[in-house]
Structure 1
Amino acid sequence: MENYSVLFRQLHEFVPQFISGLMAIVPFFILWLITKPIFNKIIARSKVSSKNSALVYLGKSVSIAIWITALLTVLGTWGVDISALVAGLGLTGFAIGYALKDVLVNSIAGIMIIFYKTVEINSHVSVLGVEGTIVDIDLRYITIQDDKAKHLIPNSCLLAEKITIFNK
């Protein structure tokens, strides 16, 4: 009988903490419900192909960040020491960021190209000695079509190098 009283006491202490942890998810869920349609509307209004757009990548990144923050909040509410987990995530993020720095640079450049509308699809441009028409803008590359071939130019080159945009 004594074992049951210990079990009931532990349950009595844990259940409110468990419920408060679940309630901590609610604001993050609401935030996710708000941001998802916003990104979907921005993507729908964008003139780039939606499946490869940097906006799609940004929207997914925001969703993942919301859910990781929600998970860490819930674990902290339940009494789990998350300081080591947060430090580990920080070190992992640094290592992944350093390993994928070129991909990240091109992705950020792609986002800047889309938001600032530096170039658009069907623009006639010359960059890095390649002259042609832009046929696609995706997460890493700008695709330029000339008479002979398609050229994939990394997005970061459009921000770092001289680019000529010809009038239509």
Structure 2
Amino acid sequence: MDNYVTGVSERSQHISNLKYEGYINQKCTAPIIDLFNNEVISCSISERPTMPMIDDVLMKAFARLDAGTNPVLHSDQGWQYRHRWYQYQLREFGIIQSMSRKGNCLDNACAECFFGTLKSESFYTSKFKDIDELKIAIEDYIRYYNTRRISLRFNGLSPVEYRLKSYQGRN
């Protein structure tokens, strides 16, 4: 993914991963992150990894992409990303698929970093009674992460503030 990260323009390169861990009550979370500003553009949460979950996260992301941009979507080599339906959906929406090298977690470091931040800032001490409560907590965190959580990489701006400032710089 190093080839992609340098000089990334908005909505041109994204990264996805699926996490199934105990810190979120053995639930599965799948975000898609814009590498331009680390904004989470879509996320889906499920009891377990399923194709409907992956389809949901894709449809949410597709709704936010500009037509004809042909962005790259990078992921690991998980079964869901190798599934024919997933690959078909990407082709239908003009998205270029990129996958990590086998056994190389560093290729997906941006997504892993998001999960680490999510865990450390929100979920180490939290328990959720059901998946609905968990979904609300993750959606609230993503809203905070995108709009209020500052990043040194973006000179103290949140991902959304950085994106909006980049628009101003173009006009």
Q: TM-score range by the shorter chain?
A: under 0.3
More helix by share: 1
- Which protein shows a greater Rg? 1
What is the TM-score of this pair, normalised by structure 2? 0.23
